[in-house]
C-alpha cells in the first residue's frame, strides 16, 4: 500500500471527497482524514505524487490510487432510472474472453447484460481493477463517475465476459 498514491487520489477527488473520509494508510500509520490533509497540503505543499510521477509508478501503486479514488468519490453502480436519456448504445460481444473492457465517457454509462456480471474500474492501473458492484441479469444499472482533477479516462470491465453487453452513454444534464 502506498501512502503517496492514496494522497494523490484524495487530491484528485478534492471537491467531491467528504472531509471526514479517511485514507487507508499503510499499517504502520494512523488514518488520515481528508479534510485536514487537504487543508495542510494547500498550506504547506503536497507529498502526493504528481500525475506525471504516478503514471511512472509500478502497477501496484497505480492500483492503490485507483482503489482510493473509487472510495473517495464513492463510485458504485446504481439502478437505472427509467426514462433517463441515453445515447448511441453499443453491444459488446464477449467472444470467449475472460472480461470485456471499455472506456467510460465523462457522463457515465447505462449497462445491461443477459447474465450476471461483476463491474470494476481502473484509471491509472494497466490491468488490475477495483470492484464497484454486481450487475444482475437483465437489470440495467448506471455507472456514474464524478468529475475530478484528472482528464485521464476511466476504463470499466465486466467479468465474466457476457455473451453480449449493452453499453449506453448517459446524456449530460442540460
pLDDT at 31: 80
**pLDDT(61) > 90:** yes
Cα separation, 55 vs 124, in Å, equals: 7
Query: Once rounded to an integer, what is the mean pLDDT over residues 62-71?
Result: 93
For the segment 68-75, the average pLDDT, to the nearest whole number, is 93
Taking each helix axis from N to C end, the angle separating 3-12 and 34-44, rounded to the nearest 10 degrees, works out to 90
pLDDT single digits (tens) 11-41: 999 988 998 888 876 666 778 888 988 999 9
Domain range list for the chain: 3-72, 77-169
Predicted local distance difference test score (pLDDT) of residue 25? 66
Confidence at 173, pLDDT banded by 50, 70, 90: low
Average pLDDT for residues 50-75, to the nearest whole number?
93
What was the pLDDT predicted at 171? 79
Between 26 and 139, name the one with better pLDDT. Answer: 139
* Segment holding 8, helix H or strand E: helix 3-12
pLDDT at 41: 92
Residue 155 reports pLDDT greater than 70: yes
With cut-offs at 50, 70 and 90, classify the pLDDT of residue 98. Answer: confident
Closest CA to 66 of 2, 111, 21, 22: 2
The architecture in CATH of the region 77-169 reads Sandwich (2.60)
Which pLDDT score, from 0 to 100, does residue 142 have? 94
Query: Who's near 65: CB < 8 A, 6+ residues apart?
Result: 2, 5, 6, 8, 9, 49, 54, 123, 124, 125
Closest by alpha carbon to 99, among 152, 140, 155? 155
Amino acid at each position: 500500500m502506498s501512502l503517496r498514491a492514496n494522497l494523490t487520489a484524495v487530491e484528485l477527488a478534492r471537491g467531491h471527497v467528504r472531509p471526514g473520509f479517511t485514507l487507508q494508510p499503510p499499517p504502520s500509520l494512523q488514518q488520515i482524514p481528508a479534510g485536514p490533509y487537504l487543508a495542510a497540503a494547500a498550506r504547506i505543499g503536497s507529498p502526493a505524487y504528481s500525475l506525471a510521477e504516478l503514471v511512472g509508478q509500478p502497477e501496484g501503486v497505480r492500483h492503490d490510487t485507483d482503489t482510493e479514488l473509487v472510495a473517495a468519490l464513492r463510485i458504485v453502480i446504481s439502478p437505472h432510472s427509467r426514462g433517463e436519456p441515453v445515447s448511441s448504445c453499443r453491444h459488446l460481444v464477449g467472444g470467449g474472453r475472460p472480461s470485456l473492457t471499455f472506456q467510460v465517457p465523462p457522463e457515465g454509462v447505462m449497462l445491461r447484460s443477459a447474465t450476471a456480471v461483476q463491474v470494476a474500474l481502473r484509471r491509472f492501473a494497466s490491468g488490475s481493477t477495483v470492484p464497484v458492484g454486481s450487475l444482475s441479469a437483465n437489470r440495467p444499472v448506471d455507472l456514474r463517475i464524478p468529475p475530478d482533477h484528472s482528464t485521464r479516462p476511466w476504463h470499466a470491465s465486466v467479468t465474466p465476459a457476457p455473451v453480449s453487453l449493452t453499453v449506453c452513454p448517459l446524456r449530460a444534464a442540460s
